[in-house]
Amino acid sequence: MTNYVIAEAERCLTCKRPVCQEGCPIHTPIPQVIKSFRENRLNEAGQMLFDNNPMSLVTSLICNHADQCEGHCIQGKCGAAIHISDIENYISDTYFDKMKIRCAPPNGKMAAIIGSGPAGITVAFLLAKKGYKVTIFESKDKIGGVMQYGIPEFRLPKTIMERYYKKLNEIGVRVRPNTTIGGALTVQDLLNDGYGAIFIGTGVWRPKKLGVKGESLGNVHFGIDYLASPGAFHLGRDVAVIGTGNTAMDVARTALRHGVENVTIFSHNNRLSAAELEIGYARVDGCEFEYDMEVKEITEEGPLFRRKLRDEDGKLIGYGQELELVKVDSVLICVSQGPKNKIILTTPGLRGNEKGLLITEDGMTSVEGLFAAGDVVSGANSIVAAVAQAKQVAERMDAYMMRNEKKD
């Protein structure tokens, strides 16, 4: 592996205009990182990666690199793009555990973070480095959010979140697991206890329904619930996965790894929205695909579909006359997620849009001192996008608390 990574790094042209960096949502300084690595300054390269993106160890594994950094690599115009993700992962993985995070002296101020997903962890690192006393409130027993409970082990090893937990502990960040804000504790309780600013990064965990009859039957499950603890489900031999995104691919591949023999992924259209790489992995793992199948009902025997009909140019020309029953043991629904509403319901003045997503302006919600970023604001998106947003919001939280200190 080391020889391979070195060889890939040697292929980098260190372009004066690094379009690979432009293609990265968080603008990782790729040429500088690779240059340091090639000059045997791995720790320097690792520090650059962490300073720019605290979740680099994660995003180097699960980003859609083909459409981002690697998809913009000049080498890919007439040959094979440099595998930037492998270089980044090697550096981040080697450096992370020995990294010493330097924090400013305590400034006497406290910041609360609700949710320990990529956005929450990013804000925790950035504020702790500035001298804030940070407490994370996590509704589940482990940190990580979607990284812990929404991405399969074969794509993102759970040990990575354990390493992040240890690193947060090293810099004094406290974590309160199994603590839901909007339950026994509310946002007002946090404000009353002296937190200068509060960050909401609770993600989107409420499954969206298909809106058809049969979704409450015992053989039907939501994909995001299944990924949280696949060992708790008994799906049987044959499974239908309804959905077109990366979550559907993850669910299908996970089911095959937990004893299911046959998995078919059904798309309501003639295409999929998942990344090409993830679709390719699903095919290799043995998943079958059916296109233009619009689910109309789910029964104890399986889903009922109406097939869409297209002409040779792919234009929709009608629907099949008869509903088609696909007999399976279980049905897994993966058609995106929305936010849960406990915080909105228990926080006077906190506003969300028609989808329940929090409304913010420059990172602040409609409640003074309450900030938000990530999926709970933008809807389901990539981890790197959540980190990029969280970096900006952390700076605004710092500025807000500093302004209030001067007022006091």
* Chain-centroid distance, C-alpha 266: 23
Question: What pLDDT digit, counting tens, does each position of 76-109 carry?
Answer: 888 999 999 999 999 999 999 999 999 999 999 9
What is the pLDDT averaged over residues 348-362? 96
Q: Give me the pLDDT at residue 301, please.
A: 98
Q: Helix 276-285 to helix 246-257 angle, to the nearest 10 degrees?
A: 20
Q: How far is CA 12 from CA 8, 251, 271, 281, in A?
A: 7, 36, 34, 27
Question: What pLDDT digit, counting tens, does each position of 220-230 carry?
Answer: 999 999 999 99
Contacts of 129 (CB under 8 A, 6+ apart): 101, 102, 103, 104, 171
Which has the higher per-residue pLDDT, 49 or 1?
49
What is the pLDDT averaged over residues 11-39? 93
Q: Give me the pLDDT at residue 334, please.
A: 97
Q: Please give the angle made by the CA atoms of 179, 199 and 192, to the nearest 5 degrees.
A: 70
What is the pLDDT averaged over residues 26-46? 96
Residue 313 backbone dihedrals phi, psi, to 5 degrees: -90, 0
Half-sphere exposure in the Cβ direction for 26 (13 Å, CA): 28
Res 312 pLDDT > 80: yes
Closest by alpha carbon to 373, among 362, 399, 80, 7? 362
pTM above 0.85, yes or no: yes
* Domains of the chain, earliest start first: 2-96 (1.10.1060.10), 110-206+340-407 (3.50.50.60), 209-335 (3.50.50.60)
Question: What pLDDT digit, counting tens, does each position of 166-185 carry?
Answer: 999 999 999 999 999 999 99
Binned at pLDDT 50, 70 and 90, residue 54 comes out as very high
Res 29 pLDDT > 90: yes
Q: How far is CA 196 from CA 112, 241, 287, 400, in A?
A: 8, 45, 50, 9
Q: Give me the pLDDT at residue 407, please.
A: 64
Alpha carbon distance 203, 177 (integer Å) = 16
Question: What pLDDT digit, counting tens, does each position of 245-294 carry?
Answer: 999 999 999 999 999 999 999 999 999 999 999 999 999 999 999 999 99
Burial of 60 per CB tally in 10 Å (0-12, 13-18, 19+): buried
In the chain, the percentage of residues whose pLDDT exceeds 70 is 99
Binned at pLDDT 50, 70 and 90, residue 329 comes out as very high
Alpha carbon distance 339, 379 (integer Å) = 8
pLDDT averaged over the chain?
96
* Chain-centroid distance, C-alpha 169: 22
Res 35 pLDDT > 90: yes
Token representation of residue 160: 């990575």
What is the pLDDT averaged over residues 67-79? 91
Question: Can you list the positions of beta strands (E) in 20-94?
Answer: none
Res 15 pLDDT > 70: yes
Compute the residue count for the chain: 408
What is the pLDDT averaged over residues 378-383? 94
Alpha carbon distance 55, 61 (integer Å) = 10
What is the pLDDT averaged over residues 20-34? 94
372 in helix, strand or coil?
strand
Q: Give me the pLDDT at residue 14, please.
A: 87
Question: Can you list the positions of beta strands (E) in 56-207?
Answer: 110-114, 133-137, 174-176, 195-200, 206-207
Q: Give me the pLDDT at residue 2, please.
A: 82
Long-range pairs for 166-170: beta carbons < 8 A, 24 or more residues apart: 167/96, 167/97, 167/99, 167/101, 168/121, 168/124, 168/125, 168/128, 168/136, 168/143, 170/101
Res 406 pLDDT > 70: no
Res 408 pLDDT > 60: no
Q: Give me the pLDDT at residue 345, please.
A: 95
Q: Give me the pLDDT at residue 16, please.
A: 85
Q: Give me the pLDDT at residue 404, please.
A: 83
> Ramachandran region of residue 165, left (φ > 0), alpha (ψ -120 to 50) or beta?
alpha
What is the pLDDT averaged over residues 380-385? 94
Residue 52 backbone dihedrals phi, psi, to 5 degrees: -80, -35
